Structure 1
């Protein structure tokens, strides 16, 4: 009994001493005041400092500095977006923490790779990071500076780049820069081979923002600005125009059209009788207009679900500043986007994205800017003062009794040749409103198939989009008046008026220019990744993808379907090999030629990993690549059944007979060609990319030979003239590959 009692007393004493030591250690805290910096020495603001085993949490300020008190030798974690997390031990002399740059994961289509391992002919731009310190209203604005080979919508000098937003063919204008996480430009043949025929001239991948595993974050941003034209065209007055026009005629050996008296009269003697209209004057245009927008982003989540929501609104004004344009001169846009990523089980993930865009724009029923560029300044007077009508002209006064009166003192001017004109249309022609609604839905499932084969995964994605737009408004008829001038005792008055047209207001709202577009996209792929003996990295992708886009008033939808296989191998992340093959299909080709095979290959050498460069401190990356491919495509060719001949009586030549009855001939429009096939993009490219001085300087260059052969066309001049006839207008030349 005493033995157990003695042991119990000793055990109690031990625990008492242990707890006392713990409390003593807990009580001894040291102050930490340090700065968080990147590898290049720049301070990192917004870095999160979380103390292990405690709820203490602080964030570095604008200068990267933070301070807190923690137990000596305790551990805490420093993390920041774009940098690798760092576990730090608290010591009294701790004054600086350096975070290494995180190798960003980039979407390159049907797979994701580290930014430092981007394939040949691929550029990526982290737009979300750029947008933190910049502003733009268009997603691809200024991308030429960050993506070599990109110019407008062209990649490596080719038109018709395929633009995909979250894997679905969509318009860039359907998304704002606030919603974009990154943009990837696939330029080389090997980079776009898996996208089939429609991607043969380059692919632009836009990836939207998603939620992450963090506490809920709410970001609000608002922008307001004035759009000020740098300058308007220096518009010629009537006298200057007439003088220069006469000079041009004389230079051509022709007689002058305008007399000196006419030129003098249009120099400002009477602007109503001798007009000199400046379409760019402050009388019609403002010197600026406002644009403002606002966006709210809400994101967060945990290990089971992550979410992101974007609410945005923008409004644009107009320079027009008279008539109906004063009340119908803004374009408003509201958008909402949301997505959820869910970890359903250990092996199954799901994602759901939805977006809606509502756009409305007010306008007038004329093209003012087109008229300003083409109409001469002396043709007509926009507004005619009622006060200049001769007092005894009762006929004219009765004529304008029910006319459209502007500002209580003007009627609309015009001539027999200019009965309708942009000024009269804006003052009295009514207004219109552009309405557009766009809905986008994307969903996908990711499955981990390690249970079947280690390294095997499956992904599938489906997108459904619908867009509808139309114009609604009031289209009023209006009358314009041509004055007939007289002069009495040195006073110029309007002796009579000639009216052109009628003032009509039905009050009926018209719906016109209706358009719709529907897109359905579907893809599925098997992915395999494995490593052998720590040095041999092998991966493969087997996929099937298709989309269909139908539009109003177009019978044949745009379709694209293809099967693809890609094999990748790298040795110690030093030597790379990529082999890609795609089977493409096009309904535009003859039945026997609708399927084609597109091969591509890439090799790469990461020189930085070689022993002779690995110890060179100022070189961070240096990679050489070479690629080649032959891609089959039906781009730039919109005809269906072009391989068939056409005989038609529509537009045929009329023949008359003795009985006086005429008939039309049946003519050939083209011949048959069942050997018609795809055009081909044939390419060889060599590239180099690198980074130096702790990634402060990066560079890339590509030298390539790009040749598109087998372009489809119906070219008569390549055949002897007996293949075509001038009467009747017939042709037996088929569509062929040139």
Structure 2
């Protein structure tokens, strides 16, 4: 192939994220070669660059709704197996909550513009892949053109009763009119745990346990000889000191990615084809190599995509979108490994050795051996298949009027996962030494054969039909565009245990429309609506109407600013409208009166239990979806072609949230109360982005971009039951506000205890936590719980995204910081000896008579201390943090060199993902992930991208 025939596209695109319009995004459908002009190009608010919107695209200057976009090339900077985990800090207004790092089981929670509903109502974004609802986490950044978040009613009203939580538009790459271009890349790296729970060794465990026993008025368990053996490690079988994290986990695990795609076409056919393979091993030891009936922890996925656009005739065109993936996941011991980490975090280091002197596994009747659990309890494997297919036909109707087209599309999306579970049991033993020095074994459990279960499976599928009538025409200074669409979708979630009601399809049918008018590219007005129904509501209340309006003024096109050298672009816009959310929670078909077969009666002298029908919750014949009125005001500004500013202010008023009417219906009515649409929430906030770029002619290219978004919600009404005290109401508080006791420090001495209100949870001693008496009744009980701390959802997020480029070298990074959230020190990592668990280094600063003035931890107790471990402000910490989300250093080979080896472009790079965190948690835990499950991962990798 002659490289001169190739159409030059780039392998590295710098793309900033902005609050609403993607101010600095790559041109739709094209890549750009990394060069000295890529970083400093002018902002093009006022250029005819199309952006994804609901069921269509519009030029950037014409959009008056609130949306933010990030390109697929930016998402490549985060090396992970789950697409959702590449979105941290990339889209203003999008909060991503990490759920853990286990490959294949690491889906985070996505929240658009904060939380707007409470109770059992769903908060999930509606995710649309190429215009159709589908799963998306299995996609890879190399097949993504862009990801956009639609945030206000003007952008989401067309989605009817499904748009109030926000809509995430995922757009995959398509072909282009030009010669074939081939891109190949590979990336090789390794994972490490970003943080693991910290626990003390056997010597500290034993001596502090003795101290706790003495504080409880009991005799010590461990003798001086025991303590010395633990300290020196001289008796590893009968005085073990086992760090179970080191035994079960590896320090690093490999991850690799290979990508090959083809792009090109001509005036008749355009295509984009992709093949991708990614593999990531888990952090567990390679137990499959140690035992033939176990497996190594691993995750592998193979993606393919073929997007083809064909001009069948001069007026008729067809688009075929076909994508899919095959993923294989294997784990020892469990489908997901939360139970393994629970064992690691609770098992004391001196409980038993990994192996006994005779080679058997250590263990007791109550405690199993974590390593043996991985080696000797079988294996779990799953195979998942995803298919996304769409066929769309578009006919131009210029014979009726120029600019008119009609389209029809059908989409089938399917995800299926089958499981293969193989289980068995094993024998373990507890070894003790007799007075004569002999070893005595007590054996527990029984070794069994491997049993298989292939019956379990999960499936998600949908079928969608869409029809469109589009109009786009310009008349001098007038520009008119309009859309009228029909949508019908049916989707089903099933597994082998799904009940009949849950397996019934979920259906939506509706129409929507949008009309946009502009004058002289200066004044923009838009009306949009959605009219949609769902089977989950009564027949006479099944459909809803959702209107919205928006307007924009591009002031920089006015005569008094058009020739300004300082104000390159200035746009003001606003929107107001109504959207809905049918994720209302509760059971399906709550408008029906049900009589479940759950009643239990005990009859006869034998007191035999007999089941029968019972009256279920009273039907709600007025059942409806949640509704949200949204006001959004935005500003977009470019100064001197180098400084870009975007600002948005918003207010969401959500109402008709399902709540139990506990405040208005007394319990003595004797019925199970129905959920009624009475709840209300208001949510206010802002989004802002500032980006400064270097001059386009400068040899040293750079941009520095910072963005911030803030959202704070308040419960206006939730029909909660009447409380004894005003401070106990959740009304007026943020959604998820923690309630607990207010800690005042530690009791100093018995005189302090005698002079303080009586705490009823357990007898207290000096060094125990002292709580505030909120109601002044002289007792500390649950009536003294009040709002403490903040929720786990940050109210303010700030990002710093920058890139610097000189000659062939480039450096890019993304920092993210959050504040306005609270972390909680709970569980065995922080609450010493609870439920026979471990003790962490935080307890070294415990209260004793000699450390009373400096202690930061209560006195130790070897029993379950019901006073000190109450949910209280004592265990809360500032959850703010700053994380380096991504860092990449690259070098693009000189043009003369790549031409000699028949390439268009070649780049090598090293990359880091989730490299470090600055927080207030003293290294005890990852600030994003509470609990003791699979840890978040840090990834370091190196790679190469070539284009030919």
Matched, 1:351 2:319: yes
* Contact map agreement 1:275 1:377 (CA 8 A) in 2: yes
* Contact map agreement 1:82 1:104 (CA 8 A) in 2: no
Match of 2:446 among 490, 499, 502: 502
Deviation track 1:356-383 (CA, whole Å, cap 9, x = no partner) reads: 3111122101432232123333333321
- The verdict on how the C-alpha distance between 1:82 and 1:421 changes in structure 2, with shifts beyond 3 A counting, is closer
Structure 1 counterpart of 2:660: 714
Structure 2 counterpart of 1:518: 461
* Contact map agreement 2:244 2:370 (CA 8 A) in 1: no
Q: Secondary structure at the match of 1:670?
A: coil
- In 2, distance between residues paired with 1:685 and 1:254? 64
Deviation track 1:37-63 (CA, whole Å, cap 9, x = no partner) reads: xxxxxxxxxxx99xxxxx9x997999x
- In 1, distance between residues paired with 2:412 and 2:482? 28
Match of 1:173 among 118, 137, 140: 137
Whose relative contact order is higher, 1 or 2, with alpha carbons under 8 Å and at least 6 apart? 2
Query: Alpha-carbon deviation of 1:119?
Result: 2.9
Q: Show structure 1 runs of 5+ residues with no match.
A: 1-47, 50-54, 63-79, 85-97, 387-409, 725-729
* Contact map agreement 2:570 2:636 (CA 8 A) in 1: yes
- The verdict on how the C-alpha distance between 1:415 and 1:172 changes in structure 2, with shifts beyond 3 A counting, is same
- In 1, distance between residues paired with 2:513 and 2:665? 42
Matched, 1:614 2:562: yes
- The verdict on how the C-alpha distance between 1:298 and 1:661 changes in structure 2, with shifts beyond 3 A counting, is closer
- The verdict on how the C-alpha distance between 1:661 and 1:370 changes in structure 2, with shifts beyond 3 A counting, is closer
Query: Alpha-carbon deviation of 1:675?
Result: 1.9
Matched, 1:273 2:254: no
Match of 1:360 among 314, 318, 328: 328
- In 2, distance between residues paired with 1:415 and 1:659? 39
* Contact map agreement 2:395 2:406 (CA 8 A) in 1: yes
Q: Secondary structure at the match of 2:615?
A: strand
Structure 2 counterpart of 1:723: 669
* Contact map agreement 1:714 1:734 (CA 8 A) in 2: yes
* Contact map agreement 1:643 1:735 (CA 8 A) in 2: no
Match of 1:156 among 110, 113, 123: 113
Matched, 1:371 2:343: yes
1:149-228 correspondence to structure 2 within 5 Å? 149-152=93-96, 153-158=110-115, 159-228=123-192
* Contact map agreement 2:316 2:394 (CA 8 A) in 1: yes
Match of 2:268 among 277, 297, 304: 304
Query: Alpha-carbon deviation of 1:265?
Result: 5.1
Question: What is the TM-score with the length of structure 1 in the denominator?
Answer: 0.77
Query: Alpha-carbon deviation of 1:117?
Result: 3.2
Larger Rg over CA atoms: 1
Match of 1:330 among 294, 298, 303: 298
Match of 1:239 among 203, 221, 236: 203
Q: Secondary structure at the match of 1:357?
A: strand
- In 1, distance between residues paired with 2:9 and 2:229? 74
How many aligned positions are there?
615
Q: Which moved more, 1:641-650 or 1:460-469?
A: 641-650
Structure 2 counterpart of 1:702: 648
- The verdict on how the C-alpha distance between 1:708 and 1:241 changes in structure 2, with shifts beyond 3 A counting, is farther
* Contact map agreement 2:30 2:176 (CA 8 A) in 1: no
Q: Secondary structure at the match of 2:454?
A: strand
1:379-418 correspondence to structure 2 within 5 Å? 379-386=351-358, 410-418=359-367
Structure 2 counterpart of 1:398: none
Structure 2 counterpart of 1:635: 583
Query: Alpha-carbon deviation of 1:598?
Result: 0.8
- In 1, distance between residues paired with 2:595 and 2:8? 77
Query: Alpha-carbon deviation of 1:616?
Result: 1.9
Deviation track 1:582-612 (CA, whole Å, cap 9, x = no partner) reads: 1121222122111111111111111111222
Structure 2 counterpart of 1:394: none
Matched, 1:318 2:282: yes
- In 2, distance between residues paired with 1:658 and 1:415? 42
- The verdict on how the C-alpha distance between 1:232 and 1:731 changes in structure 2, with shifts beyond 3 A counting, is closer
Deviation track 1:102-135 (CA, whole Å, cap 9, x = no partner) reads: 743212121211234333211122223x367775
* Contact map agreement 2:528 2:547 (CA 8 A) in 1: yes
- The verdict on how the C-alpha distance between 1:379 and 1:155 changes in structure 2, with shifts beyond 3 A counting, is same
- The verdict on how the C-alpha distance between 1:133 and 1:198 changes in structure 2, with shifts beyond 3 A counting, is closer
- In 1, distance between residues paired with 2:227 and 2:664? 54
Deviation track 1:400-443 (CA, whole Å, cap 9, x = no partner) reads: xxxxxxxxxx211211112x442212122222322111222111
* Contact map agreement 2:578 2:627 (CA 8 A) in 1: yes
Matched, 1:551 2:489: no
Deviation track 1:475-497 (CA, whole Å, cap 9, x = no partner) reads: 22211122232243xxx4413x2
Structure 2 counterpart of 1:295: 259
Q: Secondary structure at the match of 1:196?
A: helix
Q: Which moved more, 1:450-459 or 1:551-560?
A: 551-560
* Contact map agreement 1:324 1:431 (CA 8 A) in 2: no
Structure 2 counterpart of 1:471: 419
- The verdict on how the C-alpha distance between 1:733 and 1:213 changes in structure 2, with shifts beyond 3 A counting, is closer
Deviation track 1:323-377 (CA, whole Å, cap 9, x = no partner) reads: 3376522211111111211001111110112123111122101432232123333
Structure 2 counterpart of 1:600: 548
* Contact map agreement 1:322 1:426 (CA 8 A) in 2: no
- In 2, distance between residues paired with 1:669 and 1:679? 23
Query: Alpha-carbon deviation of 1:82?
Result: 6.7
- In 2, distance between residues paired with 1:549 and 1:263? 62
Query: Alpha-carbon deviation of 1:647?
Result: 3.8
Structure 2 counterpart of 1:462: 410
* Contact map agreement 1:137 1:177 (CA 8 A) in 2: no
* Contact map agreement 1:338 1:355 (CA 8 A) in 2: yes
- The verdict on how the C-alpha distance between 1:154 and 1:231 changes in structure 2, with shifts beyond 3 A counting, is closer
Match of 1:680 among 612, 627, 631: 627
Structure 1 counterpart of 2:66: 121
* Contact map agreement 2:514 2:527 (CA 8 A) in 1: yes
Deviation track 1:149-194 (CA, whole Å, cap 9, x = no partner) reads: 1112111114311111112222232210111011111011110111
- In 2, distance between residues paired with 1:664 and 1:498? 44
Deviation track 1:213-263 (CA, whole Å, cap 9, x = no partner) reads: 111111110111122334433322233234445556777x66476445565
Deviation track 1:548-591 (CA, whole Å, cap 9, x = no partner) reads: 21121232323332211212111111111111121121222122
Q: Secondary structure at the match of 2:632?
A: strand
* Contact map agreement 1:671 1:735 (CA 8 A) in 2: no
Superposed CA RMSD: 3.1
Q: Which moved more, 1:347-356 or 1:327-336?
A: 327-336
- In 2, distance between residues paired with 1:633 and 1:644? 20
* Contact map agreement 1:328 1:363 (CA 8 A) in 2: yes
- The verdict on how the C-alpha distance between 1:717 and 1:668 changes in structure 2, with shifts beyond 3 A counting, is farther
* Contact map agreement 2:76 2:141 (CA 8 A) in 1: no
- The verdict on how the C-alpha distance between 1:647 and 1:474 changes in structure 2, with shifts beyond 3 A counting, is closer
Q: Secondary structure at the match of 1:528?
A: strand
* Contact map agreement 2:64 2:574 (CA 8 A) in 1: no
- In 2, distance between residues paired with 1:571 and 1:58? 36
- The verdict on how the C-alpha distance between 1:667 and 1:336 changes in structure 2, with shifts beyond 3 A counting, is closer
Q: Secondary structure at the match of 1:384?
A: coil
* Contact map agreement 1:197 1:560 (CA 8 A) in 2: no
Deviation track 1:690-734 (CA, whole Å, cap 9, x = no partner) reads: 23332x43222211111210111334354223223xxxxx42545
* Contact map agreement 1:642 1:735 (CA 8 A) in 2: no
